[in-house]
Each structure stands twice: as structure tokens, then as C-alpha cells.
Amino acid sequence: MSSRYHQVYESWEKDPEAFWAEAAQDLVWTKPWDTVFDASDGVYGRWFVGAECNTAYNCLDRHVFAGRAGQAALIYDSPVTDSQQTYTYGELTDAVATLAAVMKKHGVTKGDRVIVYMPMIPEAVIGMLACARLGAVHSVVFGGFAARELATRIDDCTPKMIISASCGIEPGRVVTYKPLLDEAIEISSHKPSACLVYQRPMETASLVPGRDFDWAAETAAADAAGEKADCVSVAATDPLYILYTSGTTGQPKGVVRDNGGHMVALKWSMDAVYGMEPGEVYWAASDVGWVVGHSYIVYAPLLHGCTTILFEGKPVGTPDAGTFWRVISEHKVSALFTAPTAFRAIKKEDPEGSFIGQYDMNHFRTLFLAGERADPDTVQWAEDMLKVPVIDHWWQTETGWPIAADPMGLGMLPVKLGSPTVPMPGYDVQILDEAHEPVEAGKMGSICVKLPLPPGCLPTLWGNDQRFRDSYLREFPGFYATADAGYKDEDGYLYIMARTDDIINVAGHRLSTGAMEEVLASHPDVAECAVVGIADSMKGQVPAGFIVLKSGVTKDLAEIEKEVVQLVRQKIGPVAAFKIAITVGRLPKTRSGKILRGTMRSIADGEAYRTPATIDDPAILDEISEALKEHGVARAG
């Protein structure tokens, strides 16, 4: 079948408003829009201005009324607790309406923020949808972040309520959430008025009288009293959620997602990009704390009437490298979406794919990869083993849905290894040089998207239009700067090669080296430091920290290195995967004092590098090289 991609992309180019207005017909609006796109509203314009809707209604109630009440909406599959649970659309709607009633009783109303600090259990999804039902704005904080990160988010979005659980489960250890939550509330300036805590059987959290409430007791009481909250109609432009993502400083960026445009873009993508039919089973093996979890565990599959899988486990070790194939086979999954790192982990454990033959994967049609560059070896391995198309696609927390993909629902385009294929309708992607001019095919440049961004993308950063302008719109006037660098080939295929800022990608998790440097610098013995992302065969990149000690420090170096590793774990969280700290005598700098992080990364990766002409003292590069060797980090060049 030939692809309809070019025809559909052209139809969007010809009339973007008509294109998105048609896509919006699939959803229920409580009030129609006045204008599809109002360029004078917001920072760069807003979508579906004047319209009203409710996202939870479109995810749940709409399907119940359309006859899907008995269809599985959510399958929780948890190898780490050896349990499974299925919620039909009817049951999930009920659970969400009940929790929303409890939240309402605690004073949560339209526009209030609610932080969700939860592991991968159904209650996390129920919590997010209950917020959406009330028109409250959720902000999910990934469970692998430490108290200080949680506190920063509490102070930025000032939640009325926090919903949490007693613990998460990592292979071999129970992660207690409540002490982290208590510490975060202790150190934050803003205090939530209530916390609703779900007690898991593996850990009972102690509750602070008057502030903390037991989830099960509260929902059981609401249930017994028949209390259910109705869907609250909100403006399409009202925020649905805030999701914090790494910026160039320790202060994360609060990416705002609206209600209307988000529904339209996600619903459209399920069909056009992922090739899914309502009623089919879709699995995003990510975490609800990340954008992939928001968009493709929770909202998109439910908006489309699919069954979504919530997987509490890892690709390997829970219990083995066949777990993904078991889930696909047992729940008849049609499409899996995960990060390449998960496949690298499986490939390392089971290079011959010996587990695959044990499972019937007849329903499985497509594997989608994103979150980091899909290296050709991994793509090839997955294709050989699974015998299905493997689709690399590219997007960001900011966009909420793919900027570039091979659109399976429009007909697959030929795959080119190393490329996430072509821009999706909505995105006019251009590669610009430093003079802001488009570069020719094959030449590297900054990857930018011509404004306006399509529905679903961030309209701004929470409470900070100016930071939004400064971070994304200022450098290339008229464009959104993705902070990725790359090129387009003669056929318009995109290649995403590197970040242009200090963000690194560790096991598909986006982390700021700047934030880690702030933590290292806070150690009393550290005079200055630099953190760079170095290549790792499993996680893609891992952080490596170089520290220069204050003069006169006599403490054992290995001891200090251990302490700074522990400090990052404590202040940012285990997810930072910060395990390499190296003491050096000095850092390589330009004559104007700029630390040469790129050159240090090249040395660590064993890549050829040119000694920068502006370097202050070239001998320092040899010292870095030696220090890396001593720590067993240097690779052969």
C-alpha cells in the first residue's frame, strides 16, 4: 500500500485550521470553539479558543455511553508484585468519579493544582483522570526523584493537594515514598492543605493527623454514600496538567498542556501515527512520571477507546528478558512503545532472542521507539527478532506527541536506519544555521519548528511566559527552537544527532547536567566542577562529574568522590544514575573562562577531537585523559 502521508501533510499545509477542525470532530465538546486558532491569544496563539470540554469525559464517559462499558480500559500488569488487575471502561469511570468526589470534599476545584507522586499503580492513572474530571491541574512527579526535586515542584505549582502512595517497588528494594513526601513538604515554602495516601500492602506509611488521609478509607466512604463527582466543563485553553522537565538550570521547566488541543492531537496520532483501532490493546512501557506515560499510557489510548497497559516492572530481571513478550502475548498487545535503552537491556541479556519463541505474539504489529536516538544496531536487532516494523520517532516533553514519525496509520514510508522519518502534519520543521537561514539537505543545523506549534504542544511554561519566550522562541524569531541539532536528507527525512544545550539522555530519561553541577558545587570541599554525558552502551549516556577541590583539602579523594555521588542521589534522586565522580587538578577552559565540556566528553568517549584554538592551557586535556584512565572510564579512541 502506498502511503497517504504526502497527501495528508499537504492538506494540513494548505489549511491547518480546517485540518485540525476536522480532527476535532471525533471528540465531544460542551461548547464549540469561536476560532480554531487565535493568533492574538497567548504567547504565540491558542487552539480552539472559546470551546469548552472535559478531557476525562472524552477518555471515559464518552466510551461508556457509546457501548464500551464492558471493554477493558486499563490492564495493570505488575511482575514486581506478581499481580494483575483489569478495569473496564465502566469500572474506571466509576473509580475516577469516586476519587474526584473525595478530592472535591477536600476542596479541590477547577484550576487548583494537585501533585501526583505515585508509583506505577492504577491509582496513579485514576488520580490523574480524577483531576481532569474536576478541571484541576495535575502535576505528576516521577517516583525516582528525591525530596528536593519534589519540593521545587511544590513551590512552583503550589498544589492544594498531593496524592501519593506508601511505596514504589524497584527490583530488590521497596522505595518508601512517604518520608520523601514529608521531607519535601517540610522544606518547601508552600504547604498543601491535604495529602491523600494510598497504602500498599508492602509498606504502611504513617499519616500526619489533620493533613494526611487514607485513600482506601476515603474512597470506600464516598462509594458507600454513592458520592460521584460530575465532569466539570473547562475552557479548551485551560491547563490539563503541568509536567516538569529538565531545563538548563536546577529549576525545572513547568511544561503546560491544555485540554482541547491536547485531546485533538493525541486522538489524531493514535490513528495516523500508531495505526491503532479503538478496541485494540496499546502498551507504552514507560512511567506515568514522564511525558510518554502521560500521553501514551493514559490520555491517547483512552481518548481512542483502546485498552492501555500499565506495566510495573523492567524489561529485564522482572523476572527475565522475556517479560515484554509475555505481556504482549498475554494481553494481545498490537503496538508497543518504549525507549531504545529497554531493547538494549533485553538484547544484552538475551542476544539470541530465545525467550521470544515461547510466546504467541500474533497480535503484535509494530514497535515504536523514542526518548533518545534509536541506534541502528538496536533497531536492526529488534526487527530481526520480532519480525515487525520498528519505528523510531522523535518528540519532546514540550510537544507531547511526535514531531517526526513514520505514520503507520497513513501507510508506512520506507525506513531509513538512524532517522525518525518525516515531520508530522502540524510541524513545519526547518534546519537553520546561526544566521537563522535554512541549510541545504545533508547539512547540520539547529532543528526548529515554524510557529505556531500544532495543537497539543505547550502554550507556555507554568506561570512564566517570559522563560518560555527566552528558552524556546528568542534565538530563532518566528520559530520554536527544539534544542536538538541534526539534518534533513534529500527525501526530507530528519536525523536527530545531538542536543544543543546541557541536557543529557540517560536510559531515555532527560536530565540536566547543569542541575547536577549545582549539587556538586554545594559540596564543601568542591571548588569547581563540570558534568558531561558520556556514551554508555546500555543507557545511551551516563553523567560523569569532574571536580576540582578547594586548596588545603586533605581528605581522602575517594571519600569525597563517594560523597558527591551520594549527594546527587540524595538531592536529585537515583534516576540521575550519577556514579562517576573524578577529581582533577584543573578543568580545561577557554581563555575567557568557559569550561570545555564538549572536549572533555570527546576525550571520555574516545572520539577524535581538535584542541580548541581558544584553550587556556592544552596540557589540561592530557590531565583529564589520565584521570579518566585512572578511574577506568576512558575508551579507546
Contact set with ligand COA (CB under 6 A): 143-144, 168, 170, 175, 285-287, 290, 292, 314-316, 338-339, 341-342, 345, 371, 507-509, 574-575, 577
Q: In which element (H, E) is residue 130 found? A: helix 122-134
Per-residue cell: 535 = 556514551
Provide, rounded to whole angstroms, the least separation between the CB of residue 420 and ligand AMP.
Answer: 4
Considering CB distances under 5 to 8 angstroms, the limit depending on partner class, which of ligand AMP, ligand COA, none binds residue 153? none
Q: Please list, in sequence order, all residues whose beta carbon lies within 8 angstroms of the beta carbon of residue 280, skipping any fewer than 6 positions away.
A: 306, 307, 334, 335
Considering CB distances under 5 to 8 angstroms, the limit depending on partner class, which of ligand AMP, ligand COA, none binds residue 168? ligand COA
Per-residue cell: 278 = 479503538
| 383 three-state secondary structure | helix
Phi, psi of 576 (to 5 degrees): -65, -20
Q: Please list, in sequence order, all residues whose beta carbon lies within 8 angstroms of the beta carbon of residue 47, skipping any fewer than 6 positions away.
A: 20, 36, 37, 236, 237, 258, 260, 261, 264, 454, 455
**Which residue, 355 or 472, is less far from ligand AMP as judged by CB?**
472
**Which residue, 371 or 459, is less far from ligand COA as judged by CB?**
371
**Which residue, 292 or 306, is less far from ligand COA as judged by CB?**
292
**Which residue, 428 or 484, is less far from ligand COA as judged by CB?**
484
Provide, rounded to whole angstroms, the least separation between the CB of residue 292 and ligand COA.
Answer: 4
Residue type, 438: P
Provide, rounded to whole angstroms, the least separation between the CB of residue 502 and ligand AMP.
Answer: 12
Identify any residues that bridge with 174 across adjacent strands, giving them in sequence order: 169
**Which residue, 255 or 361, is less far from ligand AMP as judged by CB?**
255
**Which residue, 482 or 602, is less far from ligand AMP as judged by CB?**
482
**Distance from C-alpha of 118 to C-alpha of 215, rounded to nearest angstrom:** 13
Phi, psi of 414 (to 5 degrees): -60, 140
**CB contact at 8 A, 317 and 169:** no
**Which residue, 484 or 502, is less far from ligand AMP as judged by CB?**
484
Per-residue cell: 610 = 581538535
Provide, rounded to whole angstroms, the least separation between the CB of residue 155 and ligand AMP.
Answer: 22
Provide, rounded to whole angstroms, the least separation between the CB of residue 571 and ligand COA.
Answer: 14
**CB contact at 8 A, 3 and 413:** yes
Phi, psi of 540 (to 5 degrees): 85, -65
**Distance from C-alpha of 70 to C-alpha of 81, rounded to nearest angstrom:** 26
Query: Applying CB under 6 A, which residues contact ligand AMP?
Result: 245, 291, 370-374, 392-394, 396-397, 420, 482, 484, 496, 499, 505, 510
**Which residue, 143 or 545, is less far from ligand COA as judged by CB?**
143
Provide, rounded to whole angstroms, the least separation between the CB of residue 117 and ligand AMP.
Answer: 19
Considering CB distances under 5 to 8 angstroms, the limit depending on partner class, which of ligand AMP, ligand COA, none binds residue 345? ligand COA
Q: In which element (H, E) is residue 404 found? A: strand 404-405
Provide, rounded to whole angstroms, the least separation between the CB of residue 483 and ligand AMP.
Answer: 6
Provide, rounded to whole angstroms, the least separation between the CB of residue 406 and ligand AMP.
Answer: 11
Q: Are strands 307-311 and 253-258 parallel, antiparallel or unpaired?
A: unpaired
Considering CB distances under 5 to 8 angstroms, the limit depending on partner class, which of ligand AMP, ligand COA, none binds residue 505? ligand AMP
Residue type, 540: G
Residue type, 323: T
The distance between the two most distant Cα atoms of the chain, rounded to a whole number of Å, is 75
Considering CB distances under 5 to 8 angstroms, the limit depending on partner class, which of ligand AMP, ligand COA, none binds residue 510? ligand AMP
